[in-house]
Structure 1
Amino acid sequence: MLLMSTIASACTQTKISRTPYEWPDADAPVADIKPHVRTLHGDTVIDNYFWLNDYFKKGPDSAAVIAYLEAENQYTDTMMKDTEPLQAKLFDEMKGRIKEQDESVPYFKNGYYYYTRTEEGKQYFKYCRKKGSLDASEEVLLDIDAMAEGYPYYAAGGFNVSPDNKLLAYGVDTVSRRQYTLYVKNLETGEILEDVISGTSGGSVWANDNRTLFYTKNNPSTLLTEKIMRHALGTDSKEDVTVYHERDNTNYIGVAKAKSNRFIYIYSGGTLSSEIRYLEADNPAGTFKVFQPRMKDVLYSVTALEDRFLIVTNHHAQNFKLMECPLDRTGVEDWQEVIPHREDVLLEDVEEFKDFLVVSERKNGLVQLAIRNLRDGTAHYLDFGEEAYTAYVSANPAYETATLRYGYTSLTTPSSTYDYDMNMREKRLLKQQEVVGGYNVADYVTERLYAPAEDGTRVPISLVYKKGVRKDGNAPLLLYGYGSYGATMDPSFSAARLSLLDRGFVYAIAHIRGGQEMGRQWYEDGKMLKKKNTFTDFIACGRFLVAERYTAPEHLYAMGGSAGGLLMGAVVNMAPDLWHGIVAQVPFVDVVNTMLDETIPLTTNEYDEWGNPNDEEAYLYMKSYSPYENIAAKNYPNILVTTGLHDSQVQYFEPAKWVAKLRAMKTDNNVLLLKTEMDFGHGGASGRFDYLKEVALEYAFLLALEGVRE
């Protein structure tokens, strides 16, 4: 979301008038001070706002916490009151670009074409199929619009049809804490079976007998994925059998099925190591075998072909390599190399077909799809032809096919779905996202730049803006970043973002270390005791864009969510004068306290990312950058903070504490706002239109800071 000002330029199609926004003279809430002492490794810290976790902990101050959050919401509403017409206009604009009556590209699986479709004015969708032909009559498997009625939040997923096509398993979350209840529907009668299973991750796997389901059971408090369960239809879920119990609370686990339907896999993995178990899907009562016992600092994943297993692993290969082994000898001593390790290419994944293998790679920060013919050994790459883009393997459930379904998008190219004939080497565009009201790609410019980091590392930046924007330092620019977990922030199209671009904003993505854009080392250099590289990279990108006259500090804005919200908190402490405004979405800003509390959902899974503060070196390092710990009496930029009361990834009290402490310590008169969605969690609203209200609020905040009123 880059903000670019459309000051006078002959090429600019629209002139935007700017009038300084008058913020109301309103008193901000002041959180009570209730000192809490933390002493660890000989270090004592007074936390005045520790009490704000009482709603989560069900403590005595629960009601006071809600009152404080509601007071902050009221203050935000008051301060943003004059932007309400602009918010409404932005919402209508963004909603107006959505094709309300639409249909996904159908995919073929086991005799049926599956797809979703949306209807005019409806927030959700219908999950449908047609037998044998797209001309066949439609069967609506689930009407999510009807199912969601009466719920402020509703998420349905994990759709999983039995091998005989007669049963559908699916998960539902109505609280937004990613705790799903599993249901099974008889597709012949329409009956919802009595097999209802709560506290799951939402997905499931059918055995080949059409009556056995495997699923992942979550811990109700920590939300960790703890057990893989086996359920027989018609039995009480209390009688379900635990087929695997993960004892390492730093690992995530899950269950999946081979595309060939021959095997069921159990995956257990953390940041540094993983382990696979497998079972013949024809023998659901059997015992899962360990593929290769977990090895220190070794990750691996498994794909089954007809006569062998393929293994993607970083065993003696930082950027991963592809190995293979016989179906009956799966230990590492029997792994043979197929694609060797390459210093300049990250091997990310493989997609199997009967006669082909599609290898997802990343080079120079961009995805490449390599097609390997398993019959004759030949290989070739797809050509995408843009400077910065996102390409990915899409839904390919069919095993015996020579057609690859893939997706493609860029900052200027709407999301597109292609079929690629791997024999003929021909691609066919099936669908491109329609931008209602018209969109001309020629009106926008995208670039790929490289900013020098503190240590000389070149950090990629992807950016987009509307033609006519002058690089004279007067354009507002929104710099987005994440930089954690090895997650890659590939450039993609956003119809909503046009509302910023058309008002003169430039939007840029900083591909900072901590992600995996430039290979596995890029991730390793932005985690644990090197985490500060993530923050200094982002600051370097901001300074580079200022130096290159894309913007100036008085027009430079930053945005990030979750771990990207940690980024926001860190960079405003480290370089507060560089930014005019910050949007911190569901920010992970109280790093030390959260990582010390194993009762907080998902904490122990994070030790390999941030470190375990029970270790003194890790404690002192994370304390040195944790946004909450490092608030000081100084000027800060304008800041909008968002959170959700039911957030399971970053609990509401982290941003609440951060805002409370900022209010007490900052020395400026800039705006500081906290907006808590009282019905939602980490991902915000569940409807396809409602989430745009949150986007409209964020955009209106940025536009108000630029003096743009319409």
Structure 2
Amino acid sequence: MADPYEWLRDKESQEVLEHLHAENRYTDAVTADQEPLREAIFSEIKHRTVETDLTVPSRRGGFWYFTRTIEGEQHPIYCRVPVSAPESEAPESRSLDAWTPPEVQPGEPLDGEVTYFDTNAEAKPHAFYQLGGMSIDESGRLLAYCEDTTGDERHTLRFRDLTTGENLPETVEDVHGAAVLDPTGSRAYYMVADESWRPWRLYVHTLGTDASEDRLLLEITDEQLWSGFGVSSDKRELIILSGNSEYDESRLLDLTDPDAEPVLLISADRRLLHSVDPIELDGERKLLVTHNAGGPNNALSLTTAEALAAQRSEDPLDLGTTVLPHEDTVKLEGVTVTAAQVLVSARRDTVESVQLLSLDALRNVRDGGAAVPTSSLPGPGFEEELFTCAVTSAEHEAPVFRVLYTSWFTPPRIYDIPHAAPSDDGGDAAAPTPILRRETPVHDVDLSAYRATRIWAPGDGTAPDGSPVQVPVTVMHHRDVAPDGTNPTLVYGYGSYEMSMDPSFGIPRLSLLDRGIVFAIAHVRGGGELGRWWYEDGKKLTKTHTFTDFLSATDQLVEAGWADPARIAALGGSAGGLLMGAIANMAPEKYTAIVAQVPFVDNLTSILDPDLPLSALEWEEWGNPIQDAEVYAYMKSYSPYENVRDTRYPAIAAVTSLHDTRVLYVEPAKWVQRLREHQQGEAPVVLKIEMDGGHGGASGRYESWKERAWDYAFLAHHLGAAERRF
């Protein structure tokens, strides 16, 4: 059957652009009475945020690097100051004192401080501006940065001499993401995307030459593989990973050799989900491989790059010695290598934190000792039950590593954690005490006034699909809000790509809680909160579990007294926008309002066309409807656009951006037309489109706050909770 709204796909058409502008005017008119509420929420966000602020300096080589934000400015500025004693003149450079960052105060420059990149100045000529990434060589002389000035994520790579502050004349166009300099600053490595916006070619640019002379190092023709790269902890090798949600292909490239070619370690034909991390152990170059060969929650093995590269494809894959075995209750997320120990990122009972694997323990396993369960490893201790702790930096030779710690009502804290020293008897010492460097300040708020708790849905332990599954649901509320069945409630969900909705602090959320709204997060299947199986039970031919889990969580909030059944709203973005579209069709009566941000609501049409951005890559997430009739029928059964029906839909706002390359604007643009066609109630259906933004919306922090205020005002208005209660 012909699609009557497919004409909206041509964004070069003047008729389409006029239509989109008309949609914005209509949205402005329909929501005009929400403008005071939007202004109030924006003002609350702005008032509580310390606008003139800074980050904790991080040491690299002979400099401390940090950023400042200035009141009234949209973007951060990047600063640095020399360390008091250069590395070459400081034998004690591995001491803790040498890695204690300088005290920086908002608005007060340090002696010797230099602004080496003012994002506000760079962004001024453009309606949209976003950095794709930065890389600085080991000497601190050369900066490589990628900038996007349209929102389509096609970056221009530029180079700046930090000794003069001047840009070099050479540039590279249409770069995908970030570039990486080799340690000497003589070469830059970058990727470009194909027509479907899949990064597939790796190039090396030699400084001082024209981009037309750049050497192609690698081309990944498999349309189901997304490629990316990073640098080993000791900066000797480029780690190249091409993969999807089910398997990867890994390579190493020697950064010390300008003529080196990538060396294949584990091919995609092995169908192994894995990552690799080089490590120097007693003078021998080894390789740590995190992989799912022994089970879905991953294990860690020790081998060498040479051993992997030498294996024949027809022989069983030998990953070497198991260091950390698979555990059913712990998901091994990955490792970070330092000269002193290995930092292990692991998730247990939904909480992700850091465990410490000593080099002595690694040696013991290498020499024939037993593997070490991840659950037995020590780690920094924190008091809260629900938190997030993630490594943010770990310079290879430093005596400390840095983590970011946060929870639902703990603003981000930066801790430096000293590496554990061996005890007198040769064993590992107790986990070291974290050193608090900074907690993000928040203006004029008593954070003890808020609560976060967890409930499980459904209460009887049997999911709507009949499986013995309970969904964790985070419930956030003001302390004076009780579970008495009278509360307006917002339920947020995502549930795809094994992404976990981990505890994190958010100032905008407080504006809803202060209006008596309960903010709930449904950690539905398709995410990664409860391990790999939680993800696998919410993808492909089990995708509808994501939707029924969300509905189950909604019902449990009512049953537990947290939600008034007549005042519940829902929020989700991207793949979470698909979730919003699905639950709108499945149970529109449960919700008063829905906001779908950059929603993936015409997913069947998109995935049927491999020439559209990212479509072929999505087959490992959703299935391939082109080749599999069962997948086609299953996707058609839940596709939001395909299943719009005559019913009373709640108030719905679809929020998108014209230049989004991940979820094309046309999906929500078509969806709202079909919703209006079938709407049997009086609730409005609106499209709000950012004409100068990308997948993340407009650029700049103030614009981001305004977008959040718009979404929250729409929801609070329809929940009847516009006035502050606390």
Q: TM-score, normalised by structure 1?
A: 0.90
Structure 1 residues 680, 305: CA separation in 2 closer, same or farther (over 3 Å shift)?
same
Structure 1 residues 88, 66: CA separation in 2 closer, same or farther (over 3 Å shift)?
same
Which residue of the partner structure matches residue 242 of structure 1? 216
* Structure 1: unaligned runs, 5 residues or longer: 1-44
Which residue of the partner structure matches residue 659 of structure 1? 672
Q: Is this contact kept in 2: 1:105–1:115, CA < 8 A?
A: yes
Which residue of the partner structure matches residue 347 of structure 2? 362
Q: Is this contact kept in 1: 2:274–2:291, CA < 8 A?
A: yes
Structure 1 residues 211, 545: CA separation in 2 closer, same or farther (over 3 Å shift)?
same
- CA shift for structure 1 position 81: 1.1
Which residue of the partner structure matches residue 90 of structure 2? none
Aligned with 2:433 (options 426, 431, 435) = 426
Which residue of the partner structure matches residue 392 of structure 1? 390
Identity across matched positions, percent: 39
Q: Distance in 2 between matches of 1:334 and 1:601?
A: 35
Aligned pairs (5 A) from 1:328-477: 328-331=306-309, 332-375=317-360, 379-396=377-394, 398-423=395-420, 425-437=432-444, 439-452=445-458, 453-454=463-464, 455-477=467-489
Higher normalized contact order (CA 8 Å, seq sep 6+, divided by chain length): 1
Q: Distance in 2 between matches of 1:583 and 1:466?
A: 23
Aligned with 1:672 (options 685, 690, 701) = 685
Q: Is this contact kept in 2: 1:473–1:550, CA < 8 A?
A: yes
Amino acid at match of 2:55: S
Which residue of the partner structure matches residue 636 of structure 1? 649
Q: Distance in 1 between matches of 2:527 and 2:614?
A: 20
CA shift digits 1:115-167 (9 cap, x unpaired): 11111211111111111144651121111111110312100141101122211
Which residue of the partner structure matches residue 114 of structure 1? 65
Which residue of the partner structure matches residue 602 of structure 1? 614
Q: Distance in 2 between matches of 1:374 and 1:295?
A: 32
Amino acid at match of 1:297: R
Aligned pairs (5 A) from 1:246-257: 246-257=220-231
Aligned with 1:540 (options 552, 555, 579) = 552
Which residue of the partner structure matches residue 645 of structure 1? 658
Which residue of the partner structure matches residue 120 of structure 2? 145
CA shift digits 1:187-236 (9 cap, x unpaired): 112221122111112312222442111111122x3221010001111111
Structure 2 residue 575 is the aligned partner of structure 1 residue 529 = no
Which residue of the partner structure matches residue 154 of structure 1? 129
* Structure 2: unaligned runs, 5 residues or longer: 85-101, 103-109, 310-316, 363-375, 421-430
Q: Distance in 1 between matches of 2:34 and 2:305?
A: 63
Cα RMSD after superposing both structures: 1.5
Q: Is this contact kept in 1: 2:597–2:656, CA < 8 A?
A: yes
Q: Distance in 2 between matches of 1:164 and 1:158?
A: 19
Structure 2 residue 570 is the aligned partner of structure 1 residue 575 = no
Q: Is this contact kept in 1: 2:74–2:702, CA < 8 A?
A: yes
Which residue of the partner structure matches residue 5 of structure 1? none
Structure 2 residue 63 is the aligned partner of structure 1 residue 100 = no
Q: Is this contact kept in 2: 1:214–1:255, CA < 8 A?
A: no
Q: Is this contact kept in 1: 2:297–2:328, CA < 8 A?
A: yes
Q: Distance in 2 between matches of 1:350 and 1:102?
A: 31
Aligned with 2:185 (options 189, 194, 210) = 210
CA shift digits 1:402-435 (9 cap, x unpaired): 3121111111111111111232711111111111
Structure 1 residues 379, 611: CA separation in 2 closer, same or farther (over 3 Å shift)?
closer
Q: Is this contact kept in 1: 2:351–2:388, CA < 8 A?
A: yes
Which residue of the partner structure matches residue 76 of structure 2? 125
Aligned with 2:158 (options 179, 183, 200) = 183
Q: Distance in 1 between matches of 2:553 and 2:408?
A: 18
Q: Is this contact kept in 2: 1:478–1:506, CA < 8 A?
A: yes
Q: Is this contact kept in 2: 1:484–1:523, CA < 8 A?
A: yes
Q: Is this contact kept in 2: 1:118–1:125, CA < 8 A?
A: yes
Q: Distance in 2 between matches of 1:79 and 1:620?
A: 37
Structure 1 residues 428, 208: CA separation in 2 closer, same or farther (over 3 Å shift)?
closer
Q: Is this contact kept in 2: 1:390–1:410, CA < 8 A?
A: yes
Which residue of the partner structure matches residue 619 of structure 1? 632
- CA shift for structure 1 position 709: 4.1
Aligned pairs (5 A) from 1:514-525: 514-525=526-537
**Which stretch of structure 1 is more off in the superposition, 548-557 or 330-339?**
330-339
Q: Distance in 1 between matches of 2:231 and 2:379?
A: 28
- CA shift for structure 1 position 482: 0.3
CA shift digits 1:534-566 (9 cap, x unpaired): 000001000110111111221111100000000
Q: Secondary structure at the match of 1:195?
A: strand
Q: Is this contact kept in 1: 2:515–2:722, CA < 8 A?
A: no
Which residue of the partner structure matches residue 138 of structure 2? 163
Q: Distance in 2 between matches of 1:120 and 1:169?
A: 27
Structure 1 residues 573, 371: CA separation in 2 closer, same or farther (over 3 Å shift)?
same
Which residue of the partner structure matches residue 227 of structure 1? 201
Q: Distance in 2 between matches of 1:544 and 1:465?
A: 16
Q: Secondary structure at the match of 1:584?
A: strand
Which residue of the partner structure matches residue 700 of structure 1? 713
Q: Is this contact kept in 2: 1:412–1:464, CA < 8 A?
A: no
Q: Is this contact kept in 2: 1:213–1:231, CA < 8 A?
A: yes
Moved over 6 A (4+): none
Amino acid at match of 2:36: P
Amino acid at match of 1:258: S
- CA shift for structure 1 position 240: 0.9
Number of residue pairs matched by the alignment: 658
Q: Distance in 1 between matches of 2:183 and 2:77?
A: 27
Q: Distance in 2 between matches of 1:344 and 1:78?
A: 52
Q: Is this contact kept in 2: 1:460–1:512, CA < 8 A?
A: yes
Q: Is this contact kept in 1: 2:340–2:419, CA < 8 A?
A: no
Amino acid at match of 2:437: L
CA shift digits 1:467-495 (9 cap, x unpaired): 11121211011111000011111121111
Structure 1 residues 611, 449: CA separation in 2 closer, same or farther (over 3 Å shift)?
same
Q: Secondary structure at the match of 2:649?
A: coil
Q: Distance in 1 between matches of 2:709 and 2:319?
A: 56
Which residue of the partner structure matches residue 681 of structure 1? 694
- CA shift for structure 1 position 376: 5.5
Amino acid at match of 2:133: G
CA shift digits 1:305-348 (9 cap, x unpaired): 11311010111321100001135323542521000011111100
Amino acid at match of 1:431: R
Amino acid at match of 2:661: S
- CA shift for structure 1 position 401: 2.4
Structure 2 residue 23 is the aligned partner of structure 1 residue 49 = no
Q: Secondary structure at the match of 2:674?
A: helix
Q: Distance in 2 between matches of 1:123 and 1:274?
A: 38
